[in-house]
Structure 1
Amino acid sequence: MLAFTIRRLSQSVVVLFVMSIIVFAGVYAIGNPVDILINPEADIAEQEETIRRLGLDKPIWTQYGLFLANALQGDLGNSFVHNLPALDIIFQRLPATLELAFLAVGLAVVFGVPLGMLAGLKPDSVVGRVIMTGSILGFSLPTFWVGLMLIMLFSVNMGWLPASGRGETVDLFGIPVSFLTLDGLSHLFLPAFNLALFKMSLVIRLARSGTREVLLQDYIKFARAKGVSDARIIGVHVLKNIMIPVVTVLGLELGSVIAFAVVTETVFAWPGIGKLLIDSISHLDRPVVVAYLLLTVTMFIVINFVVDILYSILDPRVRLGGAN
C-alpha cells in the first residue's frame, strides 16, 4: 500500500511539473502585455522600464526558472493589472465559483436521480422516452446558448429572476456566500441550473442504466416474492445501489464543474474564477492565467490521487494490477 501511494504521488508530481512547463510556455509566448498595460503614447524609456519591472526582459527559460523557484515557495507571482498576488485574487473569487459548482452538482442529483429512475422503471413509456430525449438535448445544446435562452425567458420576458451578478451576500466563517439570502439565491439559481444541465443528463443516464440493471438482480425478485412493497424496493434497494456509481462519477466530475464554469460565469456575469480567467486573458494578465491553470491542474491531480487511493483500499486488485 505504501509503495502504491508513493508511486501515485510521484506520478502526480511529474504531471504537475510537465503541465507547469506547458502552461507557462503557452501563456507567456502569446501576446505582449505591455501593449495593453501602458499608455500607447508612452515613450521608449517608459516601455523599457515597464518591461524590466514585470521581468519580461529576460529569456523565457530564465522567467520559468524564477517562476518555478517562487512557485515552490507558494508564490505564483503578482498580477500585472492589480499588482496583487495572483493566488490572493483567485482565492477571493473562488468562493463564488465553489458555491455555483456545488449547487449545480446538487441540482444534477436532485433532478437527475429521480428522472433517471423513472426512465429506468418505465423505459418504453412516453415519459421514459421524453426524459431520455431531454438528456440527449442536455448533452448536445451549447452551454452559452442555453444560458442566453434562460436569461431571455426568465429574466427578460417573465422578469422572475435576475440576469447577472451575485446579489446580496452574507459572511459565513468569514467567507461571503449568497445562498443564505433570498436575493442571493435568486441570482444563483439560473447560472447554477445552466451549469447543472450537462451533469444532470449524465446522472439521468447513469441512474437509468443502474435502475435497469438492479431490477434484474435476484435480491429484487426475492424481495417482491416476500411481498415487499414497490415503494420500499425502489426507495431502498434500487436507490441505494444506483447511488454508488452516481456519487463516484460526480465526485470526479466536480473538478470539471469548477474548472469549466467559465462559459456560465461569463454569460451570467458571475464573479467567480472563470470570469476572472476571461478578464485576465483579455488583459494578458499572465500571472493570474498561469496561477488559475496550475490551480486547476492541481485540483484534478488531487481528486484523481484521492480516488486512486480510495479504490486501492476498496479493491486490492487496483494496486496489484499497477505493480505488474
Structure 2
Amino acid sequence: MLSFVLRRLGQSAILLLIMSVLVFAGMYVISDPVAVMAGEDATEADRLALAAALGLDRPLPVQYLTFLGNILRGDFGTSFVYGRPVLELIFERLPATLEVVFLAMVLGLAFGIPMGIYSGLNRKKPATKLISMITTIGYSIPNFWQALLFILIFAVWLRVLPATGRGPTTEFLGMQLSLLNPEGLRYMLLPAANLGVALICMQTRLARSGTQEVMYQDYMMFARAKGIAPPRLIGRHLLRNILIPIVTITALELGTLIAFSTVTETVFSWPGIGKLLLDAIYRSDRPVVVAYMILITLMFVLINLVADIIYAILDPRIRYA
C-alpha cells in the first residue's frame, strides 16, 4: 500500500506540472490582462507601465518559471484585479463552496442509497417505477434551468426559501459558515438541492443496479436461507458489497461539485470559489485562474487516492502491488 501511495504521489506531481503549463499557456493565448485592466482610455505608456508592474513585460518562459518557483515556495502570486494574495482569496471563498457541496453530498447519499436499495428489492412495485421516472427526469434537466425552477417555486411562488445570497454566518475555527446558522442554512438549501439532485439520481441508479446484482449472489441466497433478518441482511451483507462503485462515483462527484459549482453559485449569487473563477476568467485575472486549476487538480488527485484506500478497507480482497 505504501509503494502504491508513493507512486500515485509521483504521478500527481507530474500531472500538476503539466496542468500548470497548459493553463498558464492557455490564459496567455486567450486573454490580455493589461488590455482588460487598463481600459480603453489608457495610453501606450500606461499600458507598458502596467505590464511592467505586473511582470508581464518579460518573456513567457521567464514568467512561467517565476510562477512555478513561487508555487514551490507556496506563493501563488497576487491577483491582478483584487491586489491580494491568490491563496488568500481562494481560501476566503472555499468554505462557502465546501459547505454547500457537503450538504449536497449528504442529500445525495441520504436519499439516493435508500431509494436505490428499495428499487432493487422491489422491482415490480409502482413506487419503483415512480422513482425510476423521477431519477430520469432529474438527471436530464440542465443544471441552470433546474436552479431557475427552484427559485421560481420555492422563492417566488411559495416564498419559503431565499433565492440568492449567503445569509448570516457563524464563525467556526476562523471560518464563516452558514451551515451552523439556522437562518444561513435556509439560504443554503436551494443551491445545495440544485447540486444534489443529479447526485441523488446517480446514487439511486448505482444502488439499484448493485442491489439487483448482489441479491442473487450465492452468499446472499445462503444468508436468506439461514433466516437472517432483513435489516441485518441489508446493512451487513448487501450494503457493504454495493458500496465500492458508490464510493468511486461519490469521490469523482465530490471533486466535480467543488470544481464545477460555477453555474449554481452564479445563479444563486453564492460567494464561493466557482463564482470567483468565473469573475477571474471574465476579468483575465490570470494568477487566480491558474492557481484555481492547480488546486482543483490536486484536490481530485487526493480525493481519488483516499477513495483507493477506502476500497481496501471495504473489501480486504483488494490489494495494491
TM-score band (shorter)?
over 0.9
Q: Which residue identity is paired with 2:13?
A: V
Change (3 A) 1:308 1:214: closer
How do residues 238-253 of structure 1 correspond to structure 2 at under 5 angstroms?
238-253=238-253
Change (3 A) 1:248 1:189: same
Alignment-derived partner of residue 282 in structure 2: 282
Query: Secondary structure of 1:80's partner?
Result: coil
Alignment-derived partner of residue 54 in structure 2: 54
Offset at residue 118 of structure 1 (A)? 1.5
Residue deviations 1:179-233 (CA, integer Å, cap 9, x gap): 1122111110110011011111110011101211232133433443344443443
Is residue 251–residue 304 contact of structure 2 (8 Å, CA) maintained in 1?
no
Aligned partners of 1:141, 1:86: CA distance in 2, in Å?
35
| 1:173 matches 2:181 | no
Percent identical among aligned pairs is 49
Aligned partners of 2:6, 2:192: CA distance in 1, in Å?
38
Residue deviations 1:86-123 (CA, integer Å, cap 9, x gap): 11100000000000111111000011011111111121
Alignment-derived partner of residue 94 in structure 2: 94
Q: Which residue identity is paired with 1:293?
A: M
Alignment-derived partner of residue 28 in structure 2: 28
Alignment-derived partner of residue 233 in structure 1: 233
Query: Secondary structure of 1:29's partner?
Result: helix
Aligned partners of 1:111, 1:132: CA distance in 2, in Å?
13
How do residues 155-234 of structure 1 correspond to structure 2 at under 5 angstroms?
155-234=155-234
Aligned partners of 2:222, 2:7: CA distance in 1, in Å?
45
Is residue 166–residue 184 contact of structure 1 (8 Å, CA) maintained in 2?
yes
Aligned partners of 1:183, 1:39: CA distance in 2, in Å?
41
Alignment-derived partner of residue 115 in structure 2: 115
Aligned partners of 2:305, 2:168: CA distance in 1, in Å?
37
Change (3 A) 1:229 1:6: closer
| 1:75 matches 2:75 | yes
Q: Tell me the TM-score normalised to structure 2 length.
A: 0.92
Residue deviations 1:107-156 (CA, integer Å, cap 9, x gap): 00011011111111121222112212222223221111101111111111
Change (3 A) 1:101 1:76: same
Aligned partners of 1:309, 1:16: CA distance in 2, in Å?
21
Change (3 A) 1:202 1:272: same
Change (3 A) 1:230 1:308: closer
Aligned partners of 2:159, 2:40: CA distance in 1, in Å?
43
Is residue 12–residue 305 contact of structure 1 (8 Å, CA) maintained in 2?
no
Aligned partners of 2:265, 2:66: CA distance in 1, in Å?
32
How do residues 270-309 of structure 1 correspond to structure 2 at under 5 angstroms?
270-308=270-308
Alignment-derived partner of residue 84 in structure 1: 84
Aligned partners of 2:308, 2:215: CA distance in 1, in Å?
30
Q: More deviation in 234-243 or 136-145?
A: 234-243
Structure 1: runs of 5+ lacking an equivalent: 320-324
Q: More deviation in 164-173 or 122-131?
A: 122-131
Q: Which residue identity is paired with 1:28?
A: Y
Q: More deviation in 122-131 or 307-316?
A: 307-316
Q: Tell me the TM-score normalised to structure 1 length.
A: 0.91
Residue deviations 1:30-75 (CA, integer Å, cap 9, x gap): 1212222124323222221111101111121111111111111111
Report the aligned-residue RMSD: 2.0
Offset at residue 311 of structure 1 (A)? 5.1
Aligned partners of 2:17, 2:312: CA distance in 1, in Å?
25
Aligned partners of 2:213, 2:273: CA distance in 1, in Å?
40
Change (3 A) 1:309 1:14: farther
Aligned partners of 1:301, 1:219: CA distance in 2, in Å?
35
Aligned partners of 1:30, 1:248: CA distance in 2, in Å?
35
Is residue 214–residue 220 contact of structure 1 (8 Å, CA) maintained in 2?
yes
Residue deviations 1:7-41 (CA, integer Å, cap 9, x gap): 32221111111111001101122121222212432
Offset at residue 274 of structure 1 (A)? 0.3
Alignment-derived partner of residue 148 in structure 1: 148
Q: More deviation in 299-308 or 265-274?
A: 299-308
Alignment-derived partner of residue 12 in structure 1: 12
Is residue 244–residue 311 contact of structure 2 (8 Å, CA) maintained in 1?
no
Q: More deviation in 129-138 or 182-191?
A: 129-138
4+ aligned runs moved over 6 Å, structure 1: none
Query: Secondary structure of 2:30's partner?
Result: coil
Q: Which residue identity is paired with 2:247?
A: V
Q: More deviation in 221-230 or 265-274?
A: 221-230
